């Protein structure tokens, strides 16, 4: 009986995928990676950026080696990033950028060696804290419905409980000065203790 599917058999897909993976693993420079990924997809720029995030790159070394992360490595990086974000948010000497006159919302900034300029918003949100936490944790794809700075938000892969990869496209700004950009985000959500570690 003939299949009505237009897809090739899975062994053909596996062979083709193995071929692409072996080519990617032999890449020596970022330029070679961009060229290969651009050739693999008409959406090359986004795919190239997405793939770079999936590869582990030590920016201190001049040599570039593509290397897939394991689940445990993703989890460790996510925990480390969350702890670092907590540390930055709790730094002293934030500089006031803007204060709302009606509700008292505050936007502050601080410059860090690792992250550059970081902004912090403090304000009142008219909803229970648990609802807001659940909205960010479980309804990431609905962000564009209420956040005009996000055009698209999707989950790429759930890695573990509270750890996932997401894809977001931001709106442009400044009357065309800032172009829309896309990001791959390694996201970690968890209730934290006072030390910034998962409770």
Confidence of residue 12 (pLDDT cuts 50, 70, 90): very low
Query: In the prediction, which pLDDT does 175 show?
Result: 74
How confident is the model at residue 75, as a pLDDT? 92
Model confidence over 118-151: pLDDT tens digits?
A: 999 999 888 998 888 888 889 999 999 988 989 9
Superfamily of domain 71-188: START domain (3.30.530.20)
The Cα 32–Cα 46 span in angstroms is: 16
Highest mean pLDDT among 42-46, 126-130, 193-197: 126-130
pTM over 0.75: no
Q: At what angle do helices 30-40 and 10-25 cross, to 10 degrees?
A: 160
Supply angle C-alpha 141, 49, 74, rounded to 5. 70
- The residue extents of the domains of the chain are 10-54, 71-188
**pLDDT tens digits for 148-181?**
989 999 998 899 999 999 999 998 877 777 788 8
């Amino acid at each position: 009986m003939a299949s009505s599917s237009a897809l090739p058999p899975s062994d053909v897909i596996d062979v083709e995928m193995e071929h692409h993976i072996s080519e990617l693993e032999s890449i020596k420079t970022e330029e070679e990676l961009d060229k290969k990924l651009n050739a693999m997809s008409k959406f090359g720029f986004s795919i190239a950026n997405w793939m770079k995030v999936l590869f582990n790159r030590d920016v201190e070394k001049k040599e570039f080696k593509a290397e897939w992360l394991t689940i445990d490595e993703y989890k460790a990086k996510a925990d480390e990033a969350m702890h670092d974000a907590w540390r930055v948010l709790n730094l002293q000497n934030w500089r006031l950028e803007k204060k709302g006159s009606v509700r008292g919302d505050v936007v502050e900034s601080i410059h860090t060696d690792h992250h550059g300029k970081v902004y912090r918003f403090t304000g009142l949100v008219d909803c229970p804290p648990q609802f807001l936490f659940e909205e960010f944790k479980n309804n990431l794809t609905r962000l564009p419905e209420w956040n005009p700075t996000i055009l698209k938000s999707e989950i790429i892969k759930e890695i573990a409980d509270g750890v996932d990869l997401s894809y977001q496209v931001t709106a442009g700004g400044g009357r065309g000065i800032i172009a829309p950009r896309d990001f791959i985000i390694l996201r970690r959500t968890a209730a934290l203790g006072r030390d910034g570690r998962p409770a």
